[in-house]
Amino acid sequence: MSATTPPDRARLFALLGRLAPLIFLLALVIIFASLQPRFLMPLNLFNILRQVSIYGIIAVGMTFVILIRGIDLSVGALVAMSGLCAAVIARGGIEGRLVLSADGSGFSWQLAALAAILAGSAAGLLQGMAVAWLSVPAFVVTLGGMTVFRGLALSIGNGGPISGFDEAFGWWGRGMIGPVPVPVLIFAAVAAIAWVVLTQTRFGRAVYAVGSNPEAARLSGINVSGVTIAVYGLIGFCSGLGGFVLASRLNSAEAVAGTGYELTAIAAVVIGGTSLQGGTGGVGGTVIGALLTGVLLNGLVILNVSPYTQQVLVGLIIVAAVAFDHFIKRQSR
Amino acid sequence: MSATTPPDRARLFALLGRLAPLIFLLALVIIFASLQPRFLMPLNLFNILRQVSIYGIIAVGMTFVILIRGIDLSVGALVAMSGLCAAVIARGGIEGRLVLSADGSGFSWQLAALAAILAGSAAGLLQGMAVAWLSVPAFVVTLGGMTVFRGLALSIGNGGPISGFDEAFGWWGRGMIGPVPVPVLIFAAVAAIAWVVLTQTRFGRAVYAVGSNPEAARLSGINVSGVTIAVYGLIGFCSGLGGFVLASRLNSAEAVAGTGYELTAIAAVVIGGTSLQGGTGGVGGTVIGALLTGVLLNGLVILNVSPYTQQVLVGLIIVAAVAFDHFIKRQSR
Amino acid sequence: MTSASSLGGVAQAGAGPDNGPAHEFFVPAPHEPAGSAPAPAFGPVILEAEGLVRRFFGVTVLDGVSLSLAAGEVRALLGENGAGKSTMINLLSGVHQPDGGQLRLDGSPVRFARPLDADHAGISVIRQELSLFPDLSVAEAIFAGHLPLNRFGLVDWPRMRRAASAALSQLAPDIDINAPVASLSIARQQMVEIARALTRKARVVIMDEPTASLSPNEVAHLGRIIADLSREGVAVLYVSHRLDEIRAFCQTYTVLRDGKAVAGGRVADTDIPALIRAMAGREIAAAQKAPPAPVADQGTGEPLLQIRHLASPQGLRGGQRVKDVSFALRQGEILGLAGIVGAGRTETARMIFGLDPVGQGEIRLFGQPVRFASPAAAIAAGIGYVPEDRKGLSLLPGRSVHENFALTGAVPARFGRNDRRAEARLLAGFWQKLGIRAASPGAAITTLSGGNQQKVILARWIALKPKLLIIDEPTRGIDVGAKEDVHALIREIAASGVAVLLISSDLPEVMSLSHRIITLREGVTSSDQPAAGITAEALMTHMTRHA
Amino acid sequence: AEPKGKDAEVTILVSPLTFAFPHFVFLTDELKAEAEALGGVTINVADGQLSAPKQIADIEAAIVQGVDGIILAPVEADALAPVVQQAIDAGITVVTIDRPVNGVPDVLANVSADNFKGAEAQGEAVVRAFPDGATIVNLQGIPGDKTANDRSGGAHKVLDAAGGKYVFVAEQAGNFSRDKGLEVTENILTGLAEVPQVIIAGNDDMALGAAQAVEARGLAGKVAIYGYDGSEEALKAVKSGTLAATVDQFPGLQGRTAVKTLVDYVREGTRPASSEVLVAPVAITADTLDQAERVGLIGE
Ligand SMILES: Nc1ncnc2c1ncn2[C@@H]1O[C@H](COP(=O)(O)OP(=O)(O)OP(=O)(O)O)[C@@H](O)[C@H]1O
Ligand SMILES: Nc1ncnc2c1ncn2[C@@H]1O[C@H](COP(=O)(O)OP(=O)(O)OP(=O)(O)O)[C@@H](O)[C@H]1O
Ligand SMILES: [Mg+2]
Ligand SMILES: [Mg+2]
């Protein structure tokens, strides 16, 4: 009957809608490349990739959170806290305040990484429970979490940095496999796994269902609280991993690390076309979004744009990117 | 007819729900007072009032924004930018870069205030248009605005502060009327006006309608875009006013002023019981919420709690406050 | 012809092809419960409620209600708006927990702490308020929460799609299972909701007003489906305010009044007036008999609204829904707009009201060509619109009844301040006239029963005193008694000179209220004639038969 | 690298901690002025924004651009080391200002006035003014920030060493900002049973905020307030007696020296006498005002 959809055509437009962020990214790359050819040097491209990889990992976790209509402002603080946890383990204690290993030497990177990831995940799960069970809005819970975990990070390192780790530890942030920096590979792996989970598993689809209509999700027998807690645990995990990689990259962990990562990560997710209303979007877009922010920051520096002007441009371009995305999507209705 | 509710009882519960933040505030006051009697010194109480007044003014504007399901992350930057605008006018230019007045002397506080408020309102209206017409989520628009306006603030002051204004200018931030600091009176006035607008006027009712169900509001002939733009213009106005009062208070304006005000303001609104889903809440609660945060920061310093621990406590107590509010509200269902 | 027979026959239509010749719909109903070929010897009792009590704000909404559902039984749950039907269902399906009484499953006591528990117990529910996933595809929405897995433990998309089309094939084969649910009409969403409940292979299926916005032949399909379920030994609890459906589909019934079960038994042993009496506890003027009031200026002068060859723009999803609609509407006239689901009625209304862009064609108001850019403009020009999607387009959740009523600003502000007292006075009038049941004007709208919400929304628009009022499904979810109040109200405003465009899937309603009736078929006006002496058969032919 | 030859074009990236601190704004301006004077020198600036990753990214970008030299104030001594090494390996000359990076011997020079030393100077000034002890309020900068820690740490080192007569009655974070400094001081003053004799602040902004709180309480002159940075406003305040002292790290001198050292090396290959060009911070009091770098700006 007439009132049915010509699927192919509809799908074409839907596709275009999904591609909007990519188009914008390419445009940006072309502009920078034409203004400064050195921008395209492999070295620079890998720099960009390495630079985005850490908050990229977090942005992947943030995608889940935003898909269920949540938000997490605590990730930056979590990066700092978990990074310090890893550092304490790797150093075998805190100078003059805490000795963990008998001979005062540090522990292996495995234990350090584990510490970071456990710390992050635990913190995330706790926040998830507050959101799910106390029904406190995620914005508030994680705003609180942000200051709480900063506070904890400060008390762990007593305000100062903890630095100097062994080679094995450092490899995860500074190592290379062929021409590719390790953090980039970690980011890629995390993104790939997240993609499979979101598109191919019941949990992933439950995430979309909860984001699209929590009440209906509950009525159709989905364990909404469970999904919520899991999702916040998941971004906690990503933050912990990010914290470990960052500490390894900087060969040092400090309480002020990761400041502002929350906003960068959220920006990446939204630029990638995931809606803050939840229910629509995905990891693919987030990767594009992360790259876009990375390209932006790198390109403006490469072009010697003055710092003040840079801030203005970054703000404008981010808004433009999202506006473009929404414009395309509207056209395809 | 049995299937109706005895209004009195329903109203009682509703009332209790509205009072929850107040109850929490009183509890906090009692705790601090018992730990440190000097907390109740009139002087200290007025200090608290003066300290909350500036972000209180902004929180009032933020109430409107959150009532229509929006959010504004740019207020801190706007405070800095508009403060600097006022400073430039009051000094009649920028040392060695810009001379506005013929004789190089500054202009009156009226002009300075006007400059700040115009700058703030204009910025707000622009963001409102982006939200309403480009249908870019408020979170993104104002996140962009945050960096844009910081950037502009930095370029105005060239990174440095602009200081030293005349008495009349200073009165608005440091003056007293009787025992009451002027900023407190400004805050009170702003809150009172906002209360009338929200509860007594068509516009106020439209704000609630748009927040509760934008589709229904539009279908009932409410100009949703208009309301949205107006609301962001309004918080721009508040930020401009706040920027002026802050500059007057510090006898100096700088680009880093107001950092983090956005989160403090949002926290105040949510603690006050306004829902981030929009449609429910009000200015009364916001005033309580602002006082609560003020009391918290003041009390912890008075008790000389270490900065690290303070952060932890602030986070936990904010979450507790909102959890308590939601708990009470749930009971009344 | 009587409305009873007009829909009573619906069950029979089950036998016929989906859109076979029209007369098949109107064989008078046999007076034994339809669908159950062998006389109803029910299987063992599956679900049993005993003395259920539920309070809200300490107000008793359900007061010791008992009912049982046996395998193969189709039981009607009847009652006025606010009687407690949906609440009862919420208790049976674990949405709320009873404050008293108990549930028994297969004879042994159970407690449903969450909807999930009821789901595991094989109870599936079609909710009164649609609860679908706007962003998900139709196929996924149908299986949400129970997605089929392949042997790798991953979601089996192909299988899911196949099953989804199968589930919809009977009811609405034209729905694109890959389209997002949000793009479907209320009616279609209701069909998706039905399909969802059916794919659960449940032992108990509960339907809360599933036909509220369905038109006769969808109802017919549903009738056949219910008959099949009962034959397969599934127990069905069926809620509807359309009593002819009850007679056609159900074998047993339970009547709720003010939270108490006041009557029950075999449908065959009772009749509609008796049921109405039981629900209302008083005598109600037999439904839909009053003749329409004469029109002020019949035939003479410029029509108030004139639509010529109206068409919606070519859309991407679902193509062009309105293709060629023309009609004229005069002051004081009630124009019935009939059509099956997807015919283009709602879209026509939306275009007139400035909600959707107009493709081609012209709209003349008082002879002046108009195209409204926004509802605000349409309202300013004296048009009102009561949409069919109450939850999505009308209610302000979390706001009071008063504010929901005052939304359109029927009462002008005084010195810039809202005149709450005048508003309250106006509301009180409608409250009494429509018999609205709610705690108080201060109560949150969402605590009202579906029907009472609808009354408040109607009042909102009538209070605005429009010159033209478009009403899409005016009595959706409203009980028989209240329906009369609403009909009387519509006649009254028409008599006062308001032109009414009445969109309804309830044919008897259209026929009894309208002066003229036009029918839409796939976006084209297929007939336009005076209501006097028109038969439902004729209408159905124009609505369905391909010329 | 080969000397590029006299008056060859030189491009330099300057990456200070952050432009949110006037200290670095002034440093950069002076540095630019010197570059102007030298001629043929292009200065690109990047804002460190107090973030190690940001600064690393900026330097990586500069390497890609192929600048001749980098002048940076490392946000984090260890974190910046690898990228600095990378720059040097790429043939770029690096000079650090304000503070060194750890474990990169090939850095041409470290032109720094150690914050820790400066804070010691601040502490010594207190000891000189209050030989027989004092009650002290300590306003710290952003919690966890290196500058904040060094400045608080230096003062503590001196005053704690001077024995029990110096008591820290309150220590709070003022986040280097004037409004927070003012607010926190107000609260501390009400919290304390008796007025403290001394307030030391991690920067001039907080000190000036504290001064306002003190004045508002009608305690002007009763509390000695020590700032840090030698900013124009602070010097005025020292002159007028509102502040007891401020610490000058001579950012201008640092900037000028850094750029000169770097350009000389890039052009002629001349290394500085020592790779450690230490600028000794000085506590500026009313009677040593003339030693302040920016004293010229405040006029008579
Ligand atoms: N969540 C709630 N809070 C308060 N009161 C409620 C709530 N839900 C239902 N009620 C009240 O319970 C009574 C019964 O409501 P219910 O929805 O069961 O009626 P219903 O029989 O389904 O009516 P309808 O035919 O209009 O759907 C109504 O008076 C309603 O106001
Ligand atoms: N075949 C379809 N597929 C997807 N969406 C549809 C289809 N038919 C209708 N719709 C949606 O339903 C809305 C109303 O459609 P339409 O006006 O055709 O229904 P109607 O004639 O009002 O009948 P009803 O109101 O009973 O659905 C339209 O806005 C359209 O988006
Ligand atoms: Mg109901
Ligand atoms: Mg319709």
C88 CA closest ligand 1 atom index: 18
Distances (CA, A) of A144 to A62, A140, B262, C176: 17, 6, 14, 45
In a mutational test of the C interface, the residue from B1, B4, B193, B275 whose CB has the highest number of chain C CBs within 10 Å is B4
Q: Are D141 and D153 in contact (CB under 8 A)?
A: no
Query: Distance between CA atoms of A105 and A101, rounded to whole angstroms?
Result: 6
What confidence category does residue B106 fall into, taking pLDDT thresholds of 50, 70 and 90? Answer: confident
Mean model confidence pLDDT for chain C: 85
Query: What residue ranges line ligand 1, CB within 6 angstroms?
Result: B 3; C 56, 61, 79, 81-87, 128, 437, 447-451, 477, 479
Indicate whether B31 belongs to any domain. no
Q: What single-letter amino acid sits at B90?
A: A
Q: Are C144 and C137 in contact (CB under 8 A)?
A: no
Of the CATH numbers 1.10.3660.10, 3.90.650.10, 1.10.287.130, 3.40.50.300, which one belongs to the domain with range C4-15+44-280?
A: 3.40.50.300
Q: Is residue C327 predicted with pLDDT exceeding 50? A: yes
pLDDT single digits (tens) C462-486: 999 999 999 999 888 888 888 888 8
Q: What single-letter amino acid sits at A13?
A: F
Mean pLDDT of C398-414: 90
Q: What local confidence, expressed as pLDDT, does residue C266 receive?
A: 92
Range(s) of the domain holding residue A108: 44-331
pLDDT single digits (tens) D103-148: 899 999 999 888 999 999 999 999 999 999 999 999 999 998 888 9
pLDDT single digits (tens) B136-187: 999 999 999 999 999 999 989 887 789 889 999 999 999 999 989 999 999 9
Q: What local confidence, expressed as pLDDT, does residue C36 receive?
A: 40
Query: Distance between CA atoms of A270 and A99, rounded to whole angstroms?
Result: 44
Q: Which residues contact A47 (CB under 8 A, 6 or more apart)?
A: A298, D57, D60, D61, D64
Q: Is residue B11 predicted with pLDDT exceeding 70? A: no
Indicate whether B27 belongs to any domain. no
- Please name which ligand lies nearest the alpha carbon of C187: 2
pTM of the model as a whole: 0.90
Q: What local confidence, expressed as pLDDT, does residue B61 receive?
A: 98
Indicate whether B151 belongs to any domain. yes
- Please tell me the least confidently modeled range out of B101-105, C71-75, C200-204: B101-105
Residues of C in contact with B11 (CB under 8 A): 442
Mean pLDDT of B88-112: 83
What confidence category does residue D236 fall into, taking pLDDT thresholds of 50, 70 and 90? Answer: very high
Query: Distance between CA atoms of C534 and C517, rounded to whole angstroms?
Result: 9
For the domain that residue A96 is a member of, what is the CATH number?
Answer: 1.10.3470
pLDDT single digits (tens) C80-93: 888 999 999 999 99
CA atoms within 13 A on the CB side of C132: 32
Mean pLDDT of C221-226: 90
Tokens at C476, concatenated: 């959706």
Q: What single-letter amino acid sits at A47?
A: N
- Cβ–Cβ gap B151/A315 under 8 Å: yes
- Cβ–Cβ gap B222/C376 under 8 Å: yes
Hey, what CATH topology would domain C304-378+510-547 get? Answer: Rossmann fold (3.40.50)
Indicate whether A2 belongs to any domain. no
Query: Distance between CA atoms of A165 and A87, rounded to whole angstroms?
Result: 8
Q: What single-letter amino acid sits at D258?
A: A
Mean pLDDT of D152-175: 93
Q: Are A257 and A116 in contact (CB under 8 A)?
A: no
Work out the minimum CA distance from B131 to partner chain A, whole angstroms: 9
Pick the more confident residue, D199 or B3.
D199
C437 CA closest ligand 1 atom index: 29
**What total number of domains does chain A contain?**
1
Indicate whether B109 belongs to any domain. yes
Q: Is residue B305 predicted with pLDDT exceeding 60? A: yes
Query: What residue ranges line ligand 2, CB within 6 angstroms?
Result: A 3-4; C 174-176, 179, 183-188, 213, 318, 321, 339, 341-347, 388, 505
Q: List the strands of the sheet with D109-112, edge to edge.
A: D41-45, D10-15, D69-72, D93-97, D109-112, D276-278
Burial of B102 (0-12, 13-18, 19+ CB in 10 A): exposed
- Residue with the nearest Cα to atom 18 of ligand 1? C84
Q: What local confidence, expressed as pLDDT, does residue C288 receive?
A: 47
The C-alpha angle with vertex C452 and arms to C450 and C457, in degrees rounded to 5, equals 95
Query: Distance between CA atoms of C78 and C275, rounded to whole angstroms?
Result: 8
Q: Is residue C33 predicted with pLDDT exceeding 80? A: no
Instruction: Calculate the CA C496 to chain-centre distance.
Output: 27
Q: What local confidence, expressed as pLDDT, does residue A3 receive?
A: 40
Q: What local confidence, expressed as pLDDT, does residue A270 receive?
A: 94
Work out the minimum CA distance from C350 to partner chain A, whole angstroms: 17
Indicate the SS3 state at residue C376.
helix
Mean pLDDT of D164-168: 93
Full 3-state SS string of B45-64: HHHHHHHHHHHHHHHHHHHH
Q: Are A321 and A24 in contact (CB under 8 A)?
A: yes
Query: Distance between CA atoms of C243 and C66, rounded to whole angstroms?
Result: 22
Indicate whether B18 belongs to any domain. no
Q: Which of A90-99, B77-86, C36-45, C257-266 has the highest mean pLDDT?
A: B77-86
Query: Distance between CA atoms of B271 and C318, rounded to whole angstroms?
Result: 46
Q: What local confidence, expressed as pLDDT, does residue A15 receive?
A: 78
Question: What is the residue whose two structure tokens read 């007292």?
Answer: C421
Q: What single-letter amino acid sits at C305?
A: L
Q: What local confidence, expressed as pLDDT, does residue B180 receive?
A: 93
Q: Which of B67-81, B248-262, C267-281, C487-501 has the highest mean pLDDT?
A: B67-81
Tokens at A238, concatenated: 């990503």
For a ligand 2 pocket test, name from C186, C188, C389 the mutation site with the most ligand atoms within 8 angstroms of its C-beta.
C188
What confidence category does residue A332 fall into, taking pLDDT thresholds of 50, 70 and 90? Answer: low
- Cβ–Cβ gap A215/C319 under 8 Å: no
Q: Is residue C219 predicted with pLDDT exceeding 70? A: yes
What confidence category does residue C531 fall into, taking pLDDT thresholds of 50, 70 and 90? Answer: confident
Q: Are D173 and B307 in contact (CB under 8 A)?
A: yes
Rg (CA), chain A: 21
Query: Distance between CA atoms of B190 and B202, rounded to whole angstroms?
Result: 19
Residues of chain B in Cβ contact (below 8 Å) with chain D = 36, 38-39, 41, 43-44, 47, 51, 154, 158-161, 163-164, 174, 246, 249-252, 254-259, 297-298, 301-304, 306-308, 310-311
Q: What local confidence, expressed as pLDDT, does residue B9 receive?
A: 61
Tokens at B240, concatenated: 């401009």
Query: Distance between CA atoms of B180 and A34, rounded to whole angstroms?
Result: 61
Pick the more confident residue, C440 or B123.
B123
Tokens at D116, concatenated: 């820790």
Pick the more confident residue, C37 or A249.
A249
Nearest to A67 by CA among A243, A199, A186, A185: A199
Burial of B270 (0-12, 13-18, 19+ CB in 10 A): buried
Q: Are B289 and B269 in contact (CB under 8 A)?
A: yes
Q: Is residue B190 predicted with pLDDT exceeding 90? A: yes
Query: Distance between CA atoms of D199 and D212, rounded to whole angstroms?
Result: 12
Query: Distance between CA atoms of C368 and C353, rounded to whole angstroms?
Result: 15
Indicate the SS3 state at residue B180.
strand
D208 at interface of B, judged by CB pairs closer than 8 A: yes
pLDDT single digits (tens) A12-45: 777 777 889 999 999 999 999 999 999 999 999 9
Tokens at D141, concatenated: 């900068």
Per DSSP, what are the bridge partners of residue C501? C335, C470
What are chain B's partners, defined as 3 or more CB pairs within 8 angstroms?
A: A, C, D
Q: Are C304 and C499 in contact (CB under 8 A)?
A: yes
Indicate whether B215 belongs to any domain. yes
What confidence category does residue A2 fall into, taking pLDDT thresholds of 50, 70 and 90? Answer: very low
Q: What local confidence, expressed as pLDDT, does residue C12 receive?
A: 38
Q: What local confidence, expressed as pLDDT, does residue D296 receive?
A: 84
Residues of chain A in Cβ contact (below 8 Å) with chain C = 1-7, 9-11, 13, 196, 200-202, 205-206, 208-209, 211-213, 215-223, 279-280, 332-333
Tokens at C352, concatenated: 């007139």
Nearest to C474 by CA among C386, C401, C348, C536: C386
pLDDT single digits (tens) D201-223: 999 999 999 999 999 899 999 99
